[in-house]
Amino acid sequence: MPYAKVNDINMYYEVHGEGEPLIIINGAGGTVEFLYPSVPVYSKEHQLVVYDHRNNGKSDKSNEPLSMELYADDAAGLLDAIGIESAHVRGMSMGGAIAQHLALRQPQRIRSLVLGCTSSQLNTTYTHAIPPTPECLEIFNTEKTRKMTPEEFGIKVTRLQMTEEFENKHPALFKQMSEAVANDSQRWIQTLAEQTQVPHDTYDRLPEIQLPTLVIAGNADKMIPYQNSEIIASRIPNAELSIIGGAGHTFIEAKEEADRVTLGFIKRHSNK
């Protein structure tokens, strides 16, 4: 299994395909395995880099205080370790928050920036953003989640990823996904307890981002209200905004459309 020395940890990562580099930054609780459905799509024309955040998955535990800046430095450090000077960056949910900090700290590393279903403020005072939904905050509450059975926790997490209509149409897929979370519930609970306490606030600094930027969200997101993407797009100069109708937090209802929009944007900002 490939590991790279990144800052103070050994980080697990995978590289798939060839072409212009593209790194995907996972959301809270996500691991490399969580991204496997996207690997064939994004590695067709790109050198795709995926990895596990510190304190999660196969990457090392660390005693360093967690911060969005540290997560951003980890992403840059991984690119250094692989020998990639710059890459297209796609960050989803908390990964979108990390991507914002990467763009502010090391803009020269980014060829284009895709911010998916995210916000300019998380785990802080929501002065210029809409907070996560109560259902979302419930799974971030360790006191509550530790009282749930693994099955209950798996159902709640999976239900937040999709619309009720999609769940009803695809019961077998819902069962498969919820059981996968249930079987890994202790890691999920511990990781969410850590990651969802990390403050994030880039609202005032978003106009500093002078990069080709796509902001994309689903208008049926049960975790981070899509209006947060509208706020981000209004703050980043010349940012493009795509709101996908009927799609939830992970775009599972409209994956082909979300991938088409994302890859189309990246292609327009690739070297010819």
Rounded (5°) CA angle 267-46-56: 115
Could you tell me the pTM of the whole model? Answer: 0.96
Q: Which residue segments constitute the domains of the chain, with CATH numbers given?
A: 3-130+199-268 (3.40.50.1820)
What's the CA gap between 244 and 4, in Å, rounded?
A: 36
The pLDDT of residue 272 is 53
The answer to whether residue 237 scores a pLDDT higher than 60 is yes
What's the CA gap between 45 and 208, in Å, rounded?
A: 30
Q: What is the pLDDT of residues 89-122, one digit of tens each?
A: 999 999 999 999 999 999 999 999 999 999 999 9
Mutual angle of helices 150-160 and 185-195, in 10-degree steps: 60
Where does 53-148 have alpha helices with state H? 68-82, 94-105, 134-139, 142-145
Average pLDDT of every residue of the chain:
96
Q: Is residue 204 packed enough to be buried (19+ CB in 10 Å), middle (13-18) or exposed (0-12)? A: exposed
Q: Percentage of residues in the chain with pLDDT exceeding 70?
A: 99
Cβ count within 10 A of residue 112 = 22
> Would you place residue 205 in the very low, low, confident or very high pLDDT band (cuts 50, 70, 90)?
very high
